[in-house]
Every structure is written in structure tokens, then in C-alpha cells.
Structure 1
Amino acid sequence: GVLRSGNPHPRSFGTFPRVLGKYVREEAIMPLAGAIRKMTALPAETLGLQDRGSLKKGYWADIVIFDPTTVNDRATWSQPHQYPVGIPFVIVNGQLVIDQEKFTGKLAGKILRHQV
């Protein structure tokens, strides 16, 4: 895939962990609830993605379990392929894809097509 080779931008691996670690925890310029909304419900609403973006009955839900005291990005320009820390589990479409901060190899994502 596009992120497996070359030198992608460091935020390819760490955009959201950076927001949570740097701007929410360290600099306290954004509340946690506001940051989560900007990463989930707001983009879903903006893009018109139905049944996504919130944990509600009947919605599709990818779940990221993170530790707010340790979550942070580690990717740099010289080493962009670094997974973040503080995210022990990620569940995508009901499948565990990050287990104890390690990628399981499962590609459980689903391509979202434009909804008319």
C-alpha cells in the first residue's frame, strides 16, 4: 500500500495521536471531548456519512481504545513509519486490528462509497 514504502508525511501514522497528546494533554488548548468530536462525528456529518461517527445503536463503529495519559505520535520525517504509543486496542468492523499496541495484520476496513 501507499504507506508501506517511501517516506510518507509523519502525520500519516500520527495525526490523531498528535492532537490527543500534544494539543489536548500537553498544551491543553483543546478539550478531549472536542478533539474526539473533530475526529469522529464532525467529519461524518460534514461528508454526509450516515450511520457513522458516533457510538449509537445501529451505527457502524470502529473503536479506538487509548490511554489519555500516554497517547502520542512517534513518527518523524526521518522515520515516518512509526506507530503511535498509548493505543493498546483498535477494533474495525468488529475485528481486532491493534492488539496490545501491535498490528494484527487484519485489514478489516471497508471502502465507503458516495451515498446518494
Structure 2
Amino acid sequence: MKILVLAPHAFYIDRGTPIDVDLLLRALSLRGDEVDVAVYPEGEDRSYPNVTVHRVGGREPDQLIRPGFSLRKLFYDLRLFFMAWKLVRSRGYDVVHAGEETVFMAMLFRLLHGVPYVYDM
């Protein structure tokens, strides 16, 4: 199965949602799924078979983005949207796994490209 995971946060860092996404990616990799994950620029590199991490540009290496609203996060979300849209148009995913606010992106991709989505809150 070809899956796009939209994860609007730093990946990988050792806290909450990034840990959840890491567990998801491990499980999908073990199943043999082909996974692209779109994330913010911050975080440690992780490597799993059949998983490709796509980071948006704009990295500020000494500043980790914090949970909650910020102008920087809004900027990253906009960049994440355009990167994800490009991936959806070119890769032919079976499903989009959308975390948090990226559900709105996934809804639009469903409307425009017919790709079903799963919302992870």
C-alpha cells in the first residue's frame, strides 16, 4: 500500500506526537507498505525500510518548534501543504494519514484527487 503521512511537527524528537508517528512508521515499514512522511525541518533523522522522510525547507537548527500556534508553524504548514500536494499529484497514494491540522489538507486532496484519508487526532 502507498501511504502519505502528514505530520505537522518536528520529527523525530522524543515527545508526544512525534513518538506516535515514529511507532506508526515502524509498523507500516514492517508491514511492507511504501510510506512517504511529510514533516517540519527540525528533528533527528530516522531510517526505516520503505519509508522516505520529506522535510519542508526553512530550518532553524538551534530552535525547535514548540507545540501550539505560532507564525513559524503557520509558515511551515503552508510549505507542508505545497510539498504534500506535489507528492499527492505525482505518487498515486492509496491513502493519506493526516495528523492534527493537516486533516484539512487531506480533505482537499480527497476532493481534488480522490485519495481517501485517515484523521489522527
Larger Rg belongs to: 1
TM-score, shorter chain, exceeding 0.5? no
Larger strand percent: 2
